[in-house]
Amino acid sequence: MGDTVEQILHGANLARYASGVEAVVSCGDLPFEYLEYVVTFSGAPLYYVRGNHDPEEPKAPEGCVPLDGRVVDIGGVVLAGLSGSRWYSGGPNQYTERAMRRRGRALSARVALGRLRGKKAPDVFVTHSPPLGLGDREDVAHTGFETFLGLIDRHDPPLWLHGHVHLYGPEAWEARETRRGSTRVVNVYGHRILEVPGGVGVDSGPPRRKDE
């Protein structure tokens, strides 16, 4: 889920709607009280990265697990995350390509160290911004990061989740997904329920569809 509050996730029917969801992932730019509501009433753990409209640390949503710069194993499914958007106004959680490259290298090193220790590579990368050319836009604020392409090529994750780019109109479903190699890149604007390789249902984009 990401970028906009949806009534289905902020109402009395959340527990029933989210039945069977084993983990919730936020790709950023959501009110922290919304995340706290979802983690409380969905019954599933919530993992998050920060967007460019989120506050910087030390503010954090209670009961939620930060993913920024981390590699986290959730019952055999491994998540890795990076917060932030392109630098465009000097606000919080904004990075130049050079700065994000450093952050990406640090995360990649953590993945490599884990592999040396016999741990799984990430099944899912979670970011606020998209990879360059994969569901991004041409304006400065919504251009994706080139360094994310390197992470995809290096680690070949089955799934990459991002937000940041708002989707409207009849083309929204078609614009949600792109691919690079074997990696499925999904914009989770709003929310979406996905089956992650490894067997965990992750609530992360719009109402359920048969092909999800």
Q: What percent of the chain has pLDDT over 90?
A: 86
Q: Report which residue type is found at 199.
A: G
Within 13 Å, how many C-alpha atoms sit on residue 202's CB side? Answer: 30
Nearest-angstrom CA–CA distance, 175 and 173: 5
> What average pLDDT does the segment 31-52 reach?
97
At a CB cut-off of 8 Å and minimum separation 6, what does 211 contact?
Answer: none
Helices 146-155 and 97-116 cross at an angle (nearest 10°) of 10
Nearest-angstrom CA–CA distance, 112 and 92: 29
Nearest-angstrom CA–CA distance, 111 and 105: 10
Mean pLDDT of the chain: 92
Examine residue 207 and say whether the peptide bond preceding it is cis (omega within 30 degrees of 0). no
Q: Are 162 and 186 within 8 A, CB to CB? A: yes
pLDDT value of residue 202 = 58
> Nearest Cα to 163, choosing from 29, 8, 18, 5?
29
In three-state secondary structure terms, 178 is: strand
pLDDT of 205 higher than 60: no
Q: How confident is the model at residue 212 (pLDDT cuts 50, 70, 90)?
A: very low
Dihedral over Cα of 144, 125, 134, 4: its sign = negative
Q: How far is CA 81 from the centre of its chain?
A: 7
Domains of the chain, with CATH numbers? Answer: 7-205 (3.60.21.10)
- Report pLDDT digits (tens) over 89-125: 999 999 999 999 999 999 999 999 999 999 999 999 9
In three-state secondary structure terms, 135 is: coil
pLDDT value of residue 175 = 76
